[in-house]
């Protein structure tokens, strides 16, 4: 059951902790430490992301550092935008999650 990594079209979507539908996107510690996960990450970076989008892992680390250094402001902005007319969903659980993450980021800055 070989997998094909030569699609006619490809799309790359970036996500932040404030994106909708983030449940389960951040892998658990056990998953990150598994050799299978590490091998898939290497394969995807080498055969899909760099090849199709010319994005290097070093450029991703730079973007990640930028987002981390601005995360408190990003989270504050996301909280302001919750439950406004422009926002389609309005869940208290989302607001609670953002507030917890904001408190954690603030405590660790």
Which residue, 30, 37, 109, is CA-closest to 75? Answer: 109
pTM: predicted TM-score of the whole model, two decimal places: 0.63
Region 50-61: mean pLDDT is 84
Q: Are the beta carbons of 78 and 58 closer than 8 angstroms?
A: no
DSSP reduced 3-state for 49 = helix
Q: Are the beta carbons of 94 and 21 closer than 8 angstroms?
A: no
Q: Rounded CA gap, 85 and 88, in Å?
A: 7
The crossing angle, in degrees rounded to 10, of helices 71-81 and 92-107 is 160
Q: Are the beta carbons of 95 and 102 closer than 8 angstroms?
A: no
Q: Rounded CA gap, 50 and 46, in Å?
A: 6
Please tell me the predicted confidence (pLDDT) of residue 8. 66
Q: In whole numbers, what is the pLDDT of the chain averaged over residues?
A: 78
Please tell me the predicted confidence (pLDDT) of residue 87. 60
- The residues, any chain, with a CB within 8 Å of residue 53's CB and separated by 6 or more, are 10, 12
């Amino acid at each position: 059951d070989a997998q094909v990594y030569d699609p006619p079209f490809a799309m790359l979507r970036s996500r932040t902790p404030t994106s909708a539908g983030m449940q389960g996107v951040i892998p658990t510690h056990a998953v990150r430490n598994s050799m299978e996960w590490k091998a898939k990450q290497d394969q995807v970076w080498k055969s899909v992301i760099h090849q199709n989008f010319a994005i290097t892992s070093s450029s991703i680390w730079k973007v990640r550092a930028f987002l981390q250094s601005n995360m408190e402001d990003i989270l504050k902005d996301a909280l302001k935008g919750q439950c406004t007319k422009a926002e389609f969903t309005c869940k208290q659980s989302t607001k609670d999650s953002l507030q917890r993450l904001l408190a954690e980021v603030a405590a660790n800055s």
